[in-house]
Chain A
Amino acid sequence: QKEVEQNSGPLSVPEGAIASLNCTYSDRGSQSFFWYRQYSGKSPELIMSIYSNGDKEDGRFTAQLNKASQYVSLLIRDSQPSDSATYLCAVNENNFNKFYFGSGTKLNVKP
């Protein structure tokens, strides 16, 4: 069974700090990688997608991918209380089109 591992947290950071969320995956065939944000009682919404090694930046968010180490991370700069949520890492093995999700990291941003 393909595995996606995340630290469940909670990760607590003060407002304005950088939050660093990490994810490892077991299947070397994984091709696409995603970060979703999920507020309590709501469905996941896409934050970032990344497909090649390196960094990808979008506003306050940076996704980092290292396929050799089977590692993907999400950095949130200038964290805001509204960023408090559970962040889900997802990987997709393109040949089979299935998404595998980690169990999520709960982030608390304290004012």
Chain B
Amino acid sequence: DIQMTQSPASLSASVGETVTITCRASENIYSYLAWYQQKQGKSPQLLVYNAKTLAEGVPSRFSGSGSGTQFSLKINSLQPEDFGSYYCQHHYGTPLTFGAGTKLELK
């Protein structure tokens, strides 16, 4: 199985700051990577797929990059609604696996 390693596990930031979350795959997954945001008590929401394509309705302050084994999600100018947990997920064959998550908290 492909292992997805996310870092950091937690992150404190202020409104207006820029943050970056990274995800590393245990083998080459080309650009088959998605990112999700999950707010407390809610189901996850798709942010990015194919490593860098924003899902419908996702603000442009979110951006995804990377290929192969190294990926990142960048959030520019954090807004209050951006705080929550973020998960990466490879979509290169089965089983699909997720990173352990990054909890983004308000400083």
- Please indicate whether A and B come from the same complex rather than being unrelated chains: no
